[in-house]
Amino acid sequence: MHHIIAKLILKPFLSGDGSVGFFDDGTSKSACAGKNNQRMNRPKHRFFIGLRKSGAAFAGVVCVSATIAGCAVGPNFNSPDAPETSTYTPENISRISENNGGDIRLVNGGDVPEKWWETFHNKKLNGIVTNAIQHNQTLEAAEASIRVAYFNAEAQKGFFLPQIGMTPNVSANLPSNLYANSVLNQKLLTQSYPNAGSVLTGIAVPSTTPVPPPWEYQLLTPTMAISYTPDVWGKYRRTVESLEAQQDIARYQLEAAYLAMTSNVALTAIMEASLRSQYEAIEGVIKIMYDALDTLRKQLDVGWASEADVLTQEALYAQAKQLLPPLQKQIALARNLLTALGGDYISAQSNDLFKLSELRLPKNIPVVLPSKLVRQRPDVRAAEANMHDAAARIGIAIGTRLPEFTINSLGGASAYHFDYLFQSGTTLYNIIGGTNAPVFQGFTLLNKQKAAEANFDQANALYRSTVIQAFRDVADMLRSLQADTKAVEAATYSERVAKKQLEIIRAEMKIGAVSVLMLLNAQNNYMMATVSRIQAQGNQLADVAGLFMALGGGWSDQVLKKLPPNTNGARFSDSVAGVKAPVNPSLLPVMPDNPNLVPQGSWNPSLTPAFLHNTLN
């Protein structure tokens, strides 16, 4: 009988086979469709027979709640399938030539190292990245957002349990000696005309009946109220599912922040190394120009050079010196950015300086398979969790359109004195079962359901767009590395030729065999070739870091899922390896570690203001 009740109520939401769903591919069925599908096809008249036999609709409601407590209306979310592609580019790129006689090998199907920045073999870089992980405020904010989402989900799980409240009312009462107007008028008439004779004669005689004095008393009515709303249609479960999906979004956003921060530190360090190398190279060329200027001045003294030749060389020397201040500015800004990423004030800037010659290209770069990229990129996983949230909201919208059953009970006692509360005859109680069924809401609830379905379509489109962008990012980095390698080779060759040309012209200039114009061209060509080579090498290193970022970094989904809502004040990066407590997989809430909100447990003492320390301790 209870299955018939369920089908009669769910009929507007059922598909042709008796299951709840919205999509033609059959992937969005209710969790209870397969369980009760056959029994739901019984004749409808048996419902009325069973209802008459039961004698009360409330018994049927309880039966429905007990039987289908494990189902939930709305679609069940499944992770989208991985794209059916085996490469990121039209051709399979497995090797990139490198200018020093070696190769950069792409290991297709390999796993990105968890600490991928260590592949550059620079201890300074490793240290500054570690410091940034430990002190970056963006990561701290992302960690806090996980706790917000976790406790919101835990709060929602409380609705699976009865809600109990106590009201120990105690009152002291003193009734007034006055009466209501109707009673007062009757009293005045009785006092003025106490008998029929007085009324007939019109002579008022005061009544001798005294008005009772006021009575002071106390009333104690302690009561306990219990309310329970069975999750018949799974609306609460879908709500918890939605909140846990938001918790997943927060976790993936933390991983995205972690990846972005480490990548920014590595890229900024590479940029600083490139700028500093350019500065040093230009300083070296300026020294060469000054030596040439000194030689020309000496030749001017002996008549081998004209004053115009000297001024021409001096003008080039002055122009080259103008290139240094902008580079100094960019280096200083890069240093400031590195310090800020590390969570420190600029005044606490580190003395570690980065040089391009100290950074090494990795010989082997692992490239995850395209089928695995959608599980590795945190932005793709966040988009997937957003789809999960949208799917759960469809079930919430459907559950809002269905009847809601409630059981309320009130028990307690009422007495004029505390000692009498425990005597017989003072107890009171009531039990009420109710149903709240939306009959007509001006199509509001139906339109909200349609909006939830449209929201899922939007989340689905955004997910596919995010996946395409992720594949494009990897392809862009692979193409960039190909172009960078060729650029480094060309720039290195150009620098080598320019350097050799400059050496020959400088030697011939000392004996007056070449013109000043040839010397100027050779100096300028060498400076430009050197700067171009440094920039090309810096771009190559930056694109390697960009490839690691495009591949999603080296985090593991299994490790991420084991993160608890808090790490007892420890940093995310320091606690990943030692995390043992999983997130709460149960539908029932757990007691928080610090219900009193003291600076232990989920609060990080270093983040707690001093006045809270003093107040809460």
Over the chain, what is the mean pLDDT? 77
Q: What is the mean pLDDT of residues 603-610?
A: 44
Question: Of 71, 88, 123, at which residue does a domain stop?
Answer: 71
Using 50, 70 and 90 to split pLDDT, how confident is the model at 264? Answer: very high
For residue 7, is it within any domain?
A: yes
Using 50, 70 and 90 to split pLDDT, how confident is the model at 1? Answer: very low
Better-scored residue on pLDDT, 121 or 614: 121
- What is the predicted pLDDT for the residue at 192? 54
**Mind spelling out the 3-state secondary structure of 220-279?**
EEEEEEEEECCCCCCHHHHHHHHHHHHHHHHHHHHHHHHHHHHHHHHHHHHHHHHHHHHH
Question: Is a pLDDT exceeding 50 seen at residue 596?
Answer: no
For the chain, what percent of residues have pLDDT higher than 70? 72
The DSSP secondary-structure symbol of 82 reads P
Phi, psi at 168, each rounded to 5°: -85, 80
- What is the predicted pLDDT for the residue at 548? 93
Q: How far from 79 is each of 202, 235, 367, 374, CA to CA, in Å?
A: 96, 21, 23, 10
Structure tokens at 466: 């995010």
Residue 579: CB partners within 8 Å, gap ≥ 6? 559, 562, 563, 564, 567
Q: What is the mean pLDDT of residues 606-616?
A: 42
Cβ neighbourhood burial of 330 (10 Å; 0-12, 13-18, 19+): middle
Better-scored residue on pLDDT, 377 or 181: 377
Better-scored residue on pLDDT, 210 or 74: 74
**C-beta of residue 378 within 8 angstroms of C-beta of residue 555:** yes
Instruction: Collapse the DSSP code of 497 into the 3-class scheme (helix H, G, I; strand E, B; otherwise coil) and give the result.
Output: helix
- What is the predicted pLDDT for the residue at 538? 93
**Mind spelling out the 3-state secondary structure of 431-452?**
EEEEEECCCCCCCHHHHHHHHH
Residue 272: CB partners within 8 Å, gap ≥ 6? 331, 334, 335, 338, 353, 354
Q: How many helices (H) and strands (E) does the chain have?
A: 18, 7
CA separation for the pair 367, 113 (Å, rounded)? 11
CA separation for the pair 305, 301 (Å, rounded)? 8
499 Ramachandran zone, left/alpha/beta (phi>0; psi -120 to 50): alpha
**Range of lowest pLDDT (39-43, 65-69, 473-477):** 39-43
Better-scored residue on pLDDT, 67 or 397: 397
Better-scored residue on pLDDT, 218 or 413: 413
- What is the predicted pLDDT for the residue at 9? 40
- What is the predicted pLDDT for the residue at 573? 38
For residue 27, is it within any domain?
A: yes
Q: What is the mean pLDDT of residues 301-317?
A: 87
**Range of lowest pLDDT (240-249, 331-340, 479-488, 586-595):** 586-595
Instruction: Give, for 185, the enclosing helix (H) or strand (E).
Output: helix 181-192
For residue 322, is it within any domain?
A: no
Using 50, 70 and 90 to split pLDDT, how confident is the model at 115? Answer: confident
What are the pLDDT digits (tens) for 125-179?
998 898 888 888 888 888 888 888 888 888 898 898 999 999 988 888 776 655 5
CA separation for the pair 576, 452 (Å, rounded)? 36
**C-beta of residue 393 within 8 angstroms of C-beta of residue 455:** yes
For residue 606, is it within any domain?
A: yes
Q: What is the mean pLDDT of residues 591-616?
A: 44
- What is the predicted pLDDT for the residue at 617? 34
What are the pLDDT digits (tens) for 445-485?
999 999 999 999 999 999 999 999 999 999 999 999 999 99
- What is the predicted pLDDT for the residue at 180? 52
pTM for the model: 0.73
- What is the predicted pLDDT for the residue at 580? 34
- What is the predicted pLDDT for the residue at 371? 86
247 Ramachandran zone, left/alpha/beta (phi>0; psi -120 to 50): alpha
Structure tokens at 86: 């085996």
Question: Is a pLDDT exceeding 70 seen at residue 441?
Answer: yes
For residue 55, is it within any domain?
A: yes
Question: Is a pLDDT exceeding 90 seen at residue 402?
Answer: yes
Which parts of 303-379 are beta strand (E)? 364-367
CA separation for the pair 143, 576 (Å, rounded)? 13
Residue 155: CB partners within 8 Å, gap ≥ 6? 589
- What is the predicted pLDDT for the residue at 40? 32
- What is the predicted pLDDT for the residue at 203? 59
- What is the predicted pLDDT for the residue at 229? 92
Number of domains in the chain: 2
Question: Of 17, 39, 71, at which residue does a domain stop?
Answer: 71
Q: What is the mean pLDDT of residues 575-597?
A: 52
- What is the predicted pLDDT for the residue at 581? 33
- What is the predicted pLDDT for the residue at 133? 85
Order of strands across the sheet that contains 163-173 = 163-173, 217-228, 404-413, 427-436
Residue 507, amino acid: A
**Range of lowest pLDDT (220-224, 377-381, 587-591):** 587-591
Question: Is a pLDDT exceeding 80 seen at residue 45?
Answer: no
Question: Is a pLDDT exceeding 70 seen at residue 201?
Answer: no
For the chain, what percent of residues have pLDDT higher than 90? 35
Which parts of 163-246 are beta strand (E)? 163-173, 217-228
For residue 131, is it within any domain?
A: no
Nearest Cα to Cα of residue 292 among 576, 523, 52: 523
**C-beta of residue 468 within 8 angstroms of C-beta of residue 406:** no
Instruction: Collapse the DSSP code of 100 into the 3-class scheme (helix H, G, I; strand E, B; otherwise coil) and give the result.
Output: coil
Strand partners, 20: 14
- What is the predicted pLDDT for the residue at 182? 52
CA separation for the pair 463, 23 (Å, rounded)? 18
- What is the predicted pLDDT for the residue at 566? 42
Nearest Cα to Cα of residue 495 among 530, 457, 444: 530
Q: What is the mean pLDDT of residues 556-581?
A: 42
Question: Of 71, 96, 125, at which residue does a domain stop?
Answer: 71
The DSSP secondary-structure symbol of 193 reads -
Question: Is a pLDDT exceeding 80 seen at residue 496?
Answer: yes
CA separation for the pair 287, 297 (Å, rounded)? 15
CB-side exposure of 294: number of CA atoms within 13 Å?
6
Using 50, 70 and 90 to split pLDDT, how confident is the model at 598? Answer: very low
Using 50, 70 and 90 to split pLDDT, how confident is the model at 300? Answer: confident
Q: Domain range spanning residue 616? A: 587-617
3-state helix, strand and coil shares in percent for the chain, rounded to the nearest 5: 60, 10, 30
For residue 30, is it within any domain?
A: yes
Q: What is the mean pLDDT of residues 383-388?
A: 93
**C-beta of residue 547 within 8 angstroms of C-beta of residue 474:** yes
Q: What is the mean pLDDT of residues 226-247?
A: 92
For residue 410, is it within any domain?
A: no
Better-scored residue on pLDDT, 420 or 542: 542
| Owner of token pair 């410091």 | 131
Cβ neighbourhood burial of 499 (10 Å; 0-12, 13-18, 19+): middle
CA separation for the pair 58, 408 (Å, rounded)? 13
CA separation for the pair 94, 105 (Å, rounded)? 6
